[in-house]
Copies of this chain bind each other. A is one copy, B any other.
Amino acid sequence: MPAASAQSVIDLLRAKGLRMTPQRRAIVAEIMSASGHITPVTVARRVEDRVPGVNPSTVYRTLDLLEDLGVLSHAHLESGAEYHRRAEATHVHLTCSRCGADDSLSIGEAAALEAVVSRHRGFQPDLTHFAISGVCARCQREHARPSPRRGSRSAARPS
The interface of chain A, by Cβ under 8 A from chain B, is: 64, 68, 76, 94, 96-97, 103, 105-106, 109, 112-113, 116-117, 119-127, 129-137, 140, 149-151, 153
Contacts and interface: CB of A to CB of B under 8 A. Distances in A.
* Interface residues of chain A: helix, strand, loop or mixed (majority): mixed
A127 B127 CA distance: 12
A67 to B, nearest CB: 8
Nearest to A140: B124
A123 B129 CA distance: 19
Contacts of A134: 117, 123-126, 129
Contacts of A129: 97, 132-134
Contacts of A113: 113, 116-117
Contact of A137 (B121, B135, B136): B121
Contacts of A131: 130
Contacts of A68: 149-151
Contact of A76 (B106, B112, B125, B130): B130
Contact of A94 (B125, B133, B137, B149): B125
Nearest to A135: B124
Contacts of A135: 123-124, 126
Nearest to A131: B130
A129 B116 CA distance: 18
Contacts of A136: 121-124
